[in-house]
Structure 1
Amino acid sequence: MSLSLRTLLLLGTSAATITAQGTHASAAAAAAAGPSSSSAAHSGSTSGSQAGGQHGAGHNEPPGPADFINIDVQHHLGWLWVALCGSFLIYHAIVRSVHYIRKIACLNNETQRYFANPNVAYGRFKRHFSEAPLFRTRHHREFKLSSALNVGTLPSRFQTLLICAYFGVNVAFCVYNIDYANDSKTVLKELRNRTGVLSVINMVPLFLFAHRNNPLINFCGVSFDTFNLMHRWLGRISVLEAIAHTCCYCINKVNTMGWAGLQKSLTTHLSTPQTGLIATCAFVAILFTSPSIVRHAFYEAFLHFHIAMAALALAILWLHLKDLESQKVLIIVIAFWLTERSIRICHIVYRNFGSSSTKADVEVLPGDALRVTLRMARPWKFRPGQHVYLYIPHIGWWTSHPFSLAWSDSEAHSPVVSSEDLPVDIEKSGAITPVVQHDVLGLPTKTSMSLIIRRRTGFTEKLYRKAQNAASGRFTTTAIVEGPYGKENLHSYGTVLLFAAGVGITHQVPHVRDLVVSFSNSTSATRKVVLVWIIQSPEHLEWIRPWMTTILSLPQRRDVLKILLFVTRPRSTKEIHSPSSSVQMFPGKPNVTALVEAEADAQVGAMAVSVCGTGSLADDVRKATRGVMSRRNVDFVENAFSW
């Protein structure tokens, strides 16, 4: 826990502290401020900018009262982030403790009646705030102009409040304690410095929230999806402050020296105004290429342009902040970025290269899908709810995409083991083979992991075509896997209701196996698992057939697991048949509300409702789950990749 607190303090206070120390220690640093300073801030993703000077308006002016107010603003904003992240950390610690205690208390409790009853106030809090969409029901269902033009989604009620509150705080800090009775030149100078200071300080959380290895994801229990949303809005706030900062400088320059003076200051080679203008232009360029409609239509081009322009802007911004205390804040930002990138590279190299390299067996499946079985170079501990980023160098060196891990096996190098150490011996098709879960001889093991990828555009289209054109519809290639990221533990819930649509099943299958095994081993509170899978055609069952065969053969599976399959586009009624009472198939779409209410009425212990699928399904499940939160102890768990 001490590491997490140090991380939060670094995020919230280090930038402000080094600025204050430098200001009180030396007036020489303030002389670098100058009225000709200009800067920029990051737009949609990775940076921000600094006032040309946070002390004084001229190169020879000592720091004035307004400059010390800027220091106070930095401290206030930093401590605001410490308080916010600390609140999430405490809340997450309490939730984890409650879940752990509930799990231990329910291991030998078959009814779990106490935990089925909700805390009324907390249930209303979840229903009307933390799990509520912005308006009525729409949250993750995308606004689309066409199949290729995606305008984006609406934030939740909680996310909207957080964004609006932080935007309001920044506006208040921009105008805080500025003496508007002064002449316009002085007022513009103070506004220029204030907006620049705020722009740079906002870079610290802006960069941190963009990273896949953001430590606050685990410490605070906030999803990468929410951090990514905040990252985008921090960029927009930061770029507005940069534009205001630049405009204040330009107006003052024109008023004092005319347009010719402004032109001269902006065209002087690597002058403070010129570097600020270049950084501003770079960040504004990112801003205009960051809207959802552009990101979704040209994601790979956007990503590469985004990173390149951000790196260029940081380099120029370093020159712009030369000899200023705010350059030390930029050091923190650059350190965050370089450290995260270095950690990612080290993990990638370690995970994928050893005595051999990671290989991918890619095979075509019915329904425009692929099964990718990854044979890892080193052992890999797998947990349900995790996802990885997949690189296929043969398809594209600089392209990676997130995919849920659908299945994982560990294969021992030696076949000599006792029969009791083997899992249920189910012969599997395709790339999946009977495996040894535990190596009793202590020999090194290798991990195989499987993904199901639906054919779309870009990377998935290229991968599908290559597999389709290969002999027997499959090929083997070198792969690079980054991760794993994320995890979900549902062991403290007596009832677990899992919804999936299409390839969203890849997120739920590991939970099904994990919960059935833990039930038979008496290591979880789970007593009921219901899987609802919505598919277009029965041929989609082939995607997970070998894995479901294994799951259906697990001990005591019938006592805990029920599977409901809904086929929305069957070719004939003959395709719809239920193999048993625990595995049932139906035509059409499910009545989500009826399913959730039925399970809530008969739930054992606390209930988790998880969904992975289309935005419309997620919104329907969210609506149904919120409807029972006031009368039953129910948690909503959503898996979504947003970018």
Structure 2
Amino acid sequence: MPTRGQALFIAYLIFINVVLCAVGFNSADPSAWYTSNHLEILTYVSNRAGILSFANIPLLVLYSSRNNILLWLTNWSHSTFLLLHRWIAAICVIEACLHSAIYLHIYSAQGEHSSESQRAYWYWGIVATLAMVLIVPGSMLQVRRRFYEFFLAWHVIFFLLAMVGCCLHIYYRYDFQWGYENWIYMALAIWGFERGMRILRFARHGIRTAQVSIVDDEYIKLEIPGIAADGDVYLYFPTLTWRVWENHPFSVMTDVCQGTDTGLSTTRITTDKDRLPISWTEKGESLDKMSLAEISNAPCQRGLVFYIRTQSGITKYLRGTKSKFPVLVESSYHPVVLSKPNPSGMTNIIAIAGGVGVTALAPILMRHEGWHRLFWAVRSKPLADSVAASLGADRFNRLNAVVFQDNRMDISRILQEEVSRCVGTEVAVIVSGPARMADEVRLVVATLMRENPAVKLTLLEESFSW
């Protein structure tokens, strides 16, 4: 669900495109070009829709780029620009369809469709419009989640086909006289710059060796020693698939211990009666209470650790592959939380994570010097144990974490209680988890902002959705 600010900007995009398609037309009567005013205005609207569709193409390409200059200028998150990309792309496709449909109506009404449709510009226009339309079903949320590699390939193939169709449509119709093709050149230049920046980002690290260990039936742990990065990175696995260009985004837990697994792990689990954390340790099959302070810290070596939920795409092959394999690391992309002015300097932080979303929040909390608390909903105890072991006792203690494993995390109650303790201060609520969790946190924070004017609340989201 878009935020209020995102919804307003999307509404502006829709409004400005509708207005520009509908105003500024002057009809000449009599006209040397058109047989009626109705036909004249229809032609103007169709041409305007086609031009606006072209003009939106560079914008939608820019919004989709992770090396988007607007990320630095606006400080908006990449997920926000991806949302805007989807909306501006939908507007672009609708305008292309409107352009095509009106001209089809005009030539059919005049009885000229059979002759006009034989011309090269006509069928290349059809190719471009159909390619744009076919991108839409391959970009649905369920397709992106379940068949990410298919989505990427589908996207790129039909995008390039649409660009070729647009260029040839203009060439055969106007012979590049009016500069409409410049919109396509701009889009291709942005797209080429994006690909070039990606190559530079992973080339500087060279080929690295990744090591995979199984956490449980759902999660794996991926380690890449000897490299430093912050925020999000994109990983390429050239030996796991013939599609060597494919890459996937993951959040990094930075400055983590790369030591030998001692079999000792800790989590903090809540009971149903209250939220007071209980510290546990599990070694073998025995389960005994003990203090986190008693856990020895393994020596640390700089490296990257990722926790990945395996699904049907390339992450499935990570589980079944050999323990070590080459990897390319494209880094670093800082999420919105890390790009805020001194986010770690905020007075108080309430962090809410779901599943592997904790990997995005742990680095922020570990270097935060003020008060903070992490509330982590995780169904898998092996995952919680592995994260705690990777961080080490000192770092895990620094998170001030409360882990919800067997019982549901009551987000509303948690935020109400924690915010009530911070009257007269600034509080940043950071959420990293599934879309449903982020929506619930946003609704609760919006309510608390109205009910607690004495607390300056800020909401920061790191979205799981693409």
**Shorter-chain TM-score tier:** 0.7 to 0.9
1:303 pairs with 2:156: no
After TM superposition, give the deviation of residue 174 of structure 1 in Å.
0.9
Q: Name which of 382, 389, 394 aligns with 1:539.
A: 382
After TM superposition, give the deviation of residue 622 of structure 1 in Å.
2.1
Whether the aligned pair in 2 keeps the contact of 1:533 and 1:565 (CA below 8 Å) is yes
Query: CA-to-partner distance for each residue in 1:305-357, whole Å, 9 max, x for gaps?
Result: 11011112212322222313111222222111111111111222222x2xxx2
Whole-angstrom distance in 1 between the partners of 2:152 and 2:458: 34
Change in 2 beyond 3 A, CA 1:616/1:398: same
Q: Name which of 424, 440, 443 aligns with 1:623.
A: 443
Change in 2 beyond 3 A, CA 1:597/1:553: closer
1:642 pairs with 2:465: yes
Q: Name which of 327, 339, 351 aligns with 1:498.
A: 351
Change in 2 beyond 3 A, CA 1:186/1:607: same
Q: Name which of 300, 315, 319 aligns with 1:434.
A: 300
Aligned-partner SS, 2:220: strand
Alignment of 1:447-462 (within 5 A): 447-462=302-317
After TM superposition, give the deviation of residue 257 of structure 1 in Å.
4.4
Aligned-partner SS, 2:118: helix
Whole-angstrom distance in 1 between the partners of 2:395 and 2:329: 29
1:567 pairs with 2:405: yes
Whether the aligned pair in 2 keeps the contact of 1:254 and 1:261 (CA below 8 Å) is no
Aligned-partner SS, 1:589: coil
Q: Name which of 32, 37, 53 aligns with 1:199.
A: 53
After TM superposition, give the deviation of residue 292 of structure 1 in Å.
2.3
1:161 pairs with 2:4: no
1:320 pairs with 2:174: no
Identity of aligned residues (%): 26
Whole-angstrom distance in 2 between the partners of 1:514 and 1:628: 27
1:147 maps to which residue?
A: none
1:600 pairs with 2:419: yes
Which runs of 5 or more residues in structure 1 are unaligned?
Answer: 1-153, 266-270, 412-424, 436-446, 520-525, 569-587
Q: Name which of 326, 329, 332 aligns with 1:484.
A: 332
- State the AA in 1 paired with 2:439: D
Aligned-partner SS, 1:325: coil
Alignment of 1:233-632 (within 5 A): 233-265=87-119, 271-322=120-171, 323=176, 324-351=178-205, 353=206, 357-366=207-216, 368-376=218-226, 380=228, 382-383=229-230, 386-396=231-241, 397-408=244-255, 427-428=297-298, 433-435=299-301, 447-466=302-321, 470=322, 475-487=323-335, 488=338, 489-515=342-368, 519=369, 526=370, 528-552=371-395, 562-568=400-406, 588-603=407-422, 605-630=425-450, 631=453, 632=455
Superposed CA RMSD: 2.4
Whether the aligned pair in 1 keeps the contact of 2:251 and 2:306 (CA below 8 Å) is yes
After TM superposition, give the deviation of residue 535 of structure 1 in Å.
2.1
Whole-angstrom distance in 2 between the partners of 1:308 and 1:245: 23
After TM superposition, give the deviation of residue 455 of structure 1 in Å.
2.3
- State the AA in 2 paired with 1:167: I
- State the AA in 2 paired with 1:166: L
Higher strand share: 2
1:418 maps to which residue?
A: none
- State the AA in 2 paired with 1:623: L
- State the AA in 1 paired with 2:304: M
- State the AA in 2 paired with 1:227: F
Whole-angstrom distance in 2 between the partners of 1:567 and 1:454: 17
Query: CA-to-partner distance for each residue in 1:246-282, whole Å, 9 max, x for gaps?
Result: 12222232333434213323xxxxx222221211121
After TM superposition, give the deviation of residue 591 of structure 1 in Å.
2.6
Change in 2 beyond 3 A, CA 1:189/1:552: closer
After TM superposition, give the deviation of residue 367 of structure 1 in Å.
5.2
After TM superposition, give the deviation of residue 537 of structure 1 in Å.
4.3
Query: CA-to-partner distance for each residue in 1:199-235, whole Å, 9 max, x for gaps?
Result: 1111121111010111111210111111111111111
- State the AA in 2 paired with 1:476: K
Change in 2 beyond 3 A, CA 1:286/1:590: closer
Alignment of 1:24-63 (within 5 A): none
After TM superposition, give the deviation of residue 449 of structure 1 in Å.
0.8
Aligned-partner SS, 1:178: coil
Whole-angstrom distance in 1 between the partners of 2:146 and 2:304: 30
Which runs of 5 or more residues in structure 2 are unaligned?
Answer: 30-35, 259-294
Query: CA-to-partner distance for each residue in 1:40-68, whole Å, 9 max, x for gaps?
Result: xxxxxxxxxxxxxxxxxxxxxxxxxxxxx
Aligned-partner SS, 2:66: coil
Change in 2 beyond 3 A, CA 1:215/1:361: same
Higher relative contact order, structure no. (Cα contacts within 8 Å, ≥ 6 residues apart)? 1
Change in 2 beyond 3 A, CA 1:611/1:185: same
After TM superposition, give the deviation of residue 244 of structure 1 in Å.
1.4
- State the AA in 1 paired with 2:462: N
Query: CA-to-partner distance for each residue in 1:285-304, whole Å, 9 max, x for gaps?
Result: 11233232333343221210
